[in-house]
Amino acid sequence: SYELTQPPSVSVSPGQVARITCSGDALPKKSASWYQQKSGQAPLLVIYEDNKRPSGIPERFSGSKSGAVATLTIAGAQVDDEADYYCYSSDNSGNHRLFGGGTKLTVL
Amino acid sequence: QLQLQESGPGLVKPSATLSLTCTVSGVSMRTGSVYWAWIRQPPGKGLEWIGNVYYSGSTYYKPSLKSRVSISVDTSKNQFSLTMTSVTAADTAVYYCARHEDNWDGEWFDPWGQGTLVTVSS
């Protein structure tokens, strides 16, 4: 079955660049979206169509993709950015739609 | 402003049927290229897409859940519903509803409801 693979955790100091990757065989042809989930809250869309940022999301959040790897970058990470981050995409058939396993971002 | 709100029982007995409703406010569900989705998250674990419904009633389900899940829509009430049969403790989770944009360029979920915890226990 299709999988999207994320690192379990990423840790950075405040002001540093945080990068979270998402690997999947279908990503060269399928776009990815990214979600931020703070403790006890519902997920929030931060990136869609690989690199588009919804209104209201800070400019320090950006997305990119190279081949089978999508990347969420947080430039100048802040303590308030501490959260779990999930990527989402589908396989080439569109029959398997799934989230990655999630990455816990620690900023300290 | 588009908002979604889940409702339904917080406790369901094993082998029984789980039923949840999502009420959409701020926009009509009859919108092209937009689906309406259910997603769940077991305690301490990741997100799992369950399925989608279009305002016409067409549906898509996660293959491994397809035999137990049904999603329906009532556009007159601007609501859509999830039914899951033969539940077990493994179905204990926070259940979210969300607007699912799905077009040629990509798909994403925005916004999400606040979520409702469903516990399967006798």
The pLDDT score that the predictor gives to residue B32 is 73
Q: Report the gap between the CA of A87 and the closest CA in chain B (Å).
A: 10
What SS3 string covers chain B?
CCEEEEECCCEECCCCCEEEEEEEECCCCCCCCEEEEEEEECCCCCCEEEEEECCCCCEEECHHHCCCEEEEEECCCCEEEEEECCCCHHHCEEEEEEEEEEECCEEEEEEECCCEEEEECC
- How close does chain B come to A101, measured CA to CA in Å? 6
Looking at residue B53, its pLDDT comes to 96
Spatial distance between the Cα atoms of A34 and B113, rounded to a whole number of angstroms: 17
Given CB atoms, is A33 within the 8 Å cutoff of chain B?
yes
Interface mutation target, options A88, A89, A93, A104, chain B, most CBs of B under 10 Å: A88
pLDDT tens per residue across all 108 residues of chain A: 899 999 999 999 999 999 999 999 999 999 999 999 999 999 999 999 999 999 999 999 999 999 999 999 999 999 999 999 999 999 988 888 999 999 999 999
CB contact under 8 A, A98 and B48: yes
Q: Do A102 and B114 touch (CB under 8 A)?
A: no
Confidence of residue B73 (pLDDT cuts 50, 70, 90): very high
Judge: A42–B114 Cβ closer than 8 Å, yes or no: yes
- Whether chain B has a CB inside 8 Å of the CB on A51: the answer is no
The rounded distance, in Å, linking the Cα atoms of A47 and B5 is 23
First-to-final CA distance of chain B: 39
Please report residues of B whose CB lies closer than 8 A to that of A97. 49, 60, 62, 107
Contact between A6 and B80 under an 8 Å Cβ cutoff? The reply is no
A99/A5 Cα distance (integer angstroms): 9
Average pLDDT over residues B76-103: 96
Residues on chain A touching B115 (C-beta within 8 angstroms): 42
pLDDT at A103: 98
